[in-house]
Amino acid sequence: MSSILNRRDWLKSGLLASTGIVLGQSSPALAARPTSFGVLDVYAEREMELAQEALLAAAPQIKARLSSNENPWGPSPAAIKAISEAAPKAFLYAGAITMELRKAIAEMNGVTPDQVLLGAGSSELLMASLMMAATKGKVMIAETCYISGRDAREDGATMKMDRVPLTKDYQYDLDTMSTRVNAETALIYICNPNNPTGVMLPSEKLKSFCDTVSPKSTVLVDEAYIDYAPTPATDSMVECVRKGQNVLILRTLSKLHGFAGLRIGYALGQPALLKDLRKYCSGGFTVSTTSAAAAIASFKDKAFQEMVLKNTLESKKFLYDTLKAMDYKYLPSSANFVLFPIKMKGQMLLQKMMAEGVSVRSWSFDQQDWCRVSIGTMDEMKAFKEAFAKSIS
């Protein structure tokens, strides 16, 4: 584990050296590290998950891992077969296969290959986007979103964030965000569907926002969970990229395709914007031969994707029904997780659930503690129901 962290710190230091961005501590758990990230450590959530996994290992029995928004049904058999077939060529750098992957992604999204940039998951590309923005001005975000709260670290000279509260129904306040954009705004970050709320913006409203704001500042739309949206093809903002707008879209295969451990993500944007972004990331070099081959195969396996979506909806309905029966309200989710307010401190609930072998996540915002439950198999959701009933009794 330490060697992985050291390599990551080395990469961060190398990428940031030419920008003059200062490195500072990212979390108390990593206080001994010689360097960390004053702008944003998008790996902070993963490190919390690792700590949670250690607690799970000590639990009586691991029944359900519902804390990381993973896909318990993936990767598909076609992807696994592709990994096996590509493995003998893993001694080669993945240049040819990644070019094929970029072409496949471009065709799927109606863009050109030079409008596609690959990454080892979308986290690499998100970090690069924020580093790029930090050299130019402020980053506007919603409070609460994926990079707010515990995941964000401000350092006066390094990262300036303009935080805009969510609306009363926990939606992005696009009207306020639009009026607050100024010459200092280098990037506007929108996670849609949002994490951790699961709430999704109406596509036409977000498109209108991009039409108005993108000439003034880059709009980054994090579409990590777009595959779970009601109509992904039209709910996505890829049309803005096709129209030539200053919009950057991030996607990942970690969710629907079950690639959380295979690390494939990509950005869609204008060639000039992606060229700038490449200065702050690997430019796709971190994508492995086996993962790229698996991604190409997984994109073609529509039947598997449909199965995952069907199972996700069934498990989500079970969770909704469970919460209703226990008199808990929840935020309707367009993602593979559900967030709901709880009646005790988040850490207390986590400890009680861990004692039952079930992992979930907690948040605290809007003067309220919340629980986020990832959608798992039906057996896992039943384990959640049993553990939650014991934990609140």
pLDDT tens digits for 117-169?
999 999 999 999 999 999 999 999 999 999 875 444 444 446 789 999 999 99
Q: Residue 172 corresponds to which tokens in the numbers above?
A: 């992005």
Domain residue extents for the chain: 45-73+303-392, 77-300
pLDDT at 46 over 70: no
Q: Are strands 265-268 and 361-365 parallel, antiparallel or unpaired?
A: unpaired
Residue with tokens 């077939």: 85
Structure confidence at residue 58 as a pLDDT band (50, 70, 90): low
When the pLDDT of each residue in the chain is averaged and rounded to a whole number, the result is 87
pLDDT at 8 over 90: no
- pTM value? 0.86
Q: Which amino acid is at 175?
A: D
Ranges 25-39, 56-70, 151-165, most confident: 56-70
Q: Are 45-73+303-392 and 77-300 equal in CATH topology?
A: no
pLDDT at 104 over 80: yes
Instruction: Say what the pLDDT of residue 36 is.
Output: 34
Instruction: Say what the pLDDT of residue 165 is.
Output: 96
User: CA-to-CA distance for 258 and 275, rounded, in angstroms?
Assistant: 29
Contacts of 149 (CB under 8 A, 6+ apart): 143, 363, 365
Q: How far is CA 360 from its chain centroid?
A: 17
Instruction: Say what the pLDDT of residue 285 is.
Output: 93
Q: At what angle do helices 95-109 and 289-300 cross, to 10 degrees?
A: 30
User: CA-to-CA distance for 97 and 94, rounded, in angstroms?
Assistant: 6
Residue 214, judged by CB atoms within 10 A of its CB (0-12, 13-18, 19+), counts as buried
Q: Are strands 218-222 and 185-191 parallel, antiparallel or unpaired?
A: parallel
The arithmetic mean of pLDDT across residues 295-320, rounded, is: 98
The mean-pLDDT minimum among 146-150, 281-285, 345-349 falls in 146-150
The neighbouring-strand residues paired with 188 are 140, 219
User: CA-to-CA distance for 156 and 123, rounded, in angstroms?
Assistant: 23
**CATH number, domain 45-73+303-392, options 3.50.50.100, 3.90.1150.10, 3.40.47.10, 3.30.379.10:** 3.90.1150.10
Instruction: Say what the pLDDT of residue 4 is.
Output: 32
Tens of pLDDT, residue by residue over 223-276, are 999 999 999 999 999 999 999 999 999 999 999 999 999 999 999 999 999 999
CATH class of 77-300: alpha beta
Instruction: Say what the pLDDT of residue 48 is.
Output: 58
